Amino acid sequence: MKKGFFLCILLFCSLVSFQQVNSTYNLMPVPRELKSHGGRCAIDERFRISVSGNPDPRLYAEASRFVRRMGEKTGIFLDKQGYVTADDRNPAATVAITVKRPGKLELNENESYSIEINDRQALVIAETDLGAIHALETLMQLVSNDEQGYYFPGLTIHDEPRFAWRGLLLDVALHFFPVNSVKRTLDGMAAVKMNVLHLHLCNDQGFRVESKVFPQLQKTASDGIFYTQEDIREIIRYAGQRGIRIVPEFVVPAHTTAILTAFPELASVKRKYTLQRYFGVFDPVLDVTDPKVYAFLDKLFTEMAGLFPDAYFHIGGDENTGKDWENTPHIKAYMKEHGLKAYMDLQTDFNRRILPILKKNGKTMMGWDEVLQPGVPKDIVIESWRGKEAYYESVKRGYRAILSNGYYIDLIQPTDFHYLNDPAPAEAMLSPEELKNILGGEATMWSEMVTPETVDSRIWPRTAAIAERLWSSGDIRDVPDMYRRLDIASLELETLGLTHMTYREAMLRRLANSYDTKALKVLVDVIEPLKIYERNQGDTMYTVFSPFTKLADVTGPDQPLPRSFCNLVDEFLKNPNPAQEKKINDQLTKWKENHDRFLQTLRNSPVLKEAEILSQNLSALASSGLEAMAFIHQHKSAGNSWLAEQMEILEKSKQQGGRCELQVIEPIGKLVKIASGSGKANVGSQDMLTAR
């Protein structure tokens, strides 16, 4: 008992020590083991990289890219090593990499690495070049500086991922993203050690890949917006150099309006089909009782299997309403003849019939959790999006599974919500064998509400926190430190060309119809788009042709200012001081006075009329906060009648405008309740609050 107790204490102290060491660095994701031993390795014009062992040639390309990025980050002329080649094998180089063997772009490949930094150099050892590529990203994040210049801090790292599948779904069907946009996304993924890009390539709104077997698909089912096969090969090459796999998704049997636009004879209900311009769930579905459907899919999937080399092939399988099957006599007759009681039984029958097509092409089938039905073969991988129940059920029943539920970044939820969502939480009480069935997770960027101009702001930087959840130990859960490191990671991501921060200024100028965007920015900084699926509701529904340049597009998820203001108010109510009081009052005054300036902006830009209610409510809300701060400052209770008036203002401030909502209602509400005497806080002494 005593031995166990002391082991627990030792483990706890080790964890605390590790977290304290990690908090002095800005690494994301957090490595498995990190020890600081002092010292520093200088980064100067003598910087060189060497590679020894037996790597894949992609490591030379990535090492060369690392040198260029290092020069851009430090401003040091590192032009004496233009490219890293097989001839660069000097063991005394600043960064000396040793790789045992080429890595394979496949599930469960070894991605581990070790880094030892001493006063002379950084030594990298990896089983495969994939691990070495990850090590280079860690070194890039470790670049430090002081008055003496740039350096790597002296430390030892042993690192490997917790999960083998660390993915991002990019939906290029609902809104199309050009090749350069995809490449930017891949650069961001590599920076945070993600290794799977799942491309959702067709839906009711379009089929986005050139087919040489069925050219009618891109001719009539894409609006002329699609990737050529050469584009796909370039994306795969670019991803492969960064150690990232490309997994394609061709969704069947539902969400197939685009396919049926080109081939209406494959539909369950014979009608004229045109590309769907709205977003949602629709009834058109393939006639899975017709042999022609399987002949078509055999040829199409065989062609696409040859284009995409990865072993995994996603067939969707989601959101089939079943209406076009249930209302079609010959399909109902087929179901009766084959003993299929419900339309999902028919879909399971369909899945079993297309599985051999993929198997003969060397592919493992993947599908959304709707495919998890009785009788589905165990070699199908389940991607769970509707909830944790189906996810846990799948791994308990012996299916390999990927979690996407809780990682839907298109729903505008805060980073900490995604960060604390774990694919294998302890409370699930899964056995060791069941845990082996968990492959990992995927962030999902569905594109109903995004365009190439705004997509980076929806993916980044939040996805870096999801990447950490999928790479790092499950006990790394310090939310404040996550946000601290995320802010720094966001700057690093921007250096890669990602536009998650820079897009806003141009959009603000467009909305304001002016170079003067100050008043609009004050408002935009404290609002967020409506969350979950609320934005695409109401009298005006979005289509593929809608403008995505309005208020809900220029703002984004998990705004830093509301979060920092909320933290400031919480800290003030716990341990108040004059500096905090002044910050709160200054911020509230800025919000209160902004409405008059916003009205000046509105006169020049009618498109901002939808934001007027938000600006007006922000001003009224800030006035309530200032009155509350005055009562708190004087140690007076405002009373119930004042509270009733302020609660009415708080409630009115929940109104949405431009499909956005204010994000500072909660902290101001806390101040109001404290001022009225209905809340509890340690507001300190009168002398302390009046000292300025």
The Cα 616–Cα 609 span in angstroms is: 11
Distances (CA, A) of 146 to 149, 150, 566: 5, 7, 32
In eight-state DSSP terms, residue 427 is G
Cross-strand bridge partners of residue 104 = none
Residue ranges per structural domain of the chain = 33-159, 504-690
State in words which class domain 33-159 has.
alpha beta
Q: Cβ contacts of residue 80 below 8 Å, gap of 6+?
A: 45, 48
Question: 3-class DSSP state for residue 12?
Answer: helix
Which pLDDT score, from 0 to 100, does residue 17 have? 43
Which pLDDT score, from 0 to 100, does residue 256 have? 98
Cross-strand bridge partners of residue 517 = none
The Cα 525–Cα 488 span in angstroms is: 19
Strands 401-403 and 381-384: parallel
**Are the C-beta atoms of residues 409 and 462 closer than 8 Å to each other?**
yes
The Cα 427–Cα 421 span in angstroms is: 12
Q: Which helix (H) or strand (E) holds 41?
A: strand 33-43
In eight-state DSSP terms, residue 278 is B
What is the reported pTM? Answer: 0.94
Which pLDDT score, from 0 to 100, does residue 168 have? 99
Residues of the chain with pLDDT under 50: 1-21, 684-692
Question: 3-class DSSP state for residue 406?
Answer: coil
* Closest to 159 (Cα-Cα) out of 178, 186, 141: 141
Which pLDDT score, from 0 to 100, does residue 6 have? 43
Which pLDDT score, from 0 to 100, does residue 683 have? 53
3-state secondary structure 596-628: HHHHHHHHCCHHHHHHHHHHHHHHHHHHHHHHH
Cross-strand bridge partners of residue 101 = 128
| Residue 514: Cβ-neighbour burial (10 angstroms; 0-12, 13-18, 19+) | middle
What length does the chain have?
Answer: 692
Question: 3-class DSSP state for residue 657?
Answer: strand
The Cα 651–Cα 665 span in angstroms is: 9
Which pLDDT score, from 0 to 100, does residue 539 have? 78
The Cα 197–Cα 172 span in angstroms is: 12
The Cα 184–Cα 81 span in angstroms is: 25
Question: 3-class DSSP state for residue 688?
Answer: helix
- Give the CA radius of gyration of the chain: 28
The phi and psi torsions of 574 (rounded to 5 degrees) equal: -90, -50
Which pLDDT score, from 0 to 100, does residue 4 have? 46
Q: Which amino acid would we find at residue 22?
A: N
- Give, in degrees to the nearest 5, the angle at Cα 273 between 305 and 335: 70
pLDDT 10s digits, 157-212: 999 999 999 999 999 999 999 999 999 999 999 999 999 999 999 999 999 999 99
DSSP string, 320-374: ---HHHHT-HHHHHHHHHTT--SHHHHHHHHHHHHHHHHHHTT-EEEEEGGG--T
- Give, in degrees to the nearest 5, the angle at Cα 551 between 548 and 557: 90
Block residue for tokens 């799948």: 394
Which pLDDT score, from 0 to 100, does residue 678 have? 77
Block residue for tokens 């599974």: 401
State in words which class domain 504-690 has.
mainly alpha
Q: Cβ contacts of residue 94 below 8 Å, gap of 6+?
A: 41, 43, 46, 47, 48, 49, 121, 122
Which pLDDT score, from 0 to 100, does residue 14 have? 43
Q: Which helix (H) or strand (E) holds 314?
A: strand 312-316
- For the chain, the first-to-last Cα distance in angstroms comes to 56
What is the set of active-site residues?
319
Distances (CA, A) of 350 to 223, 322, 326, 516: 29, 13, 15, 58
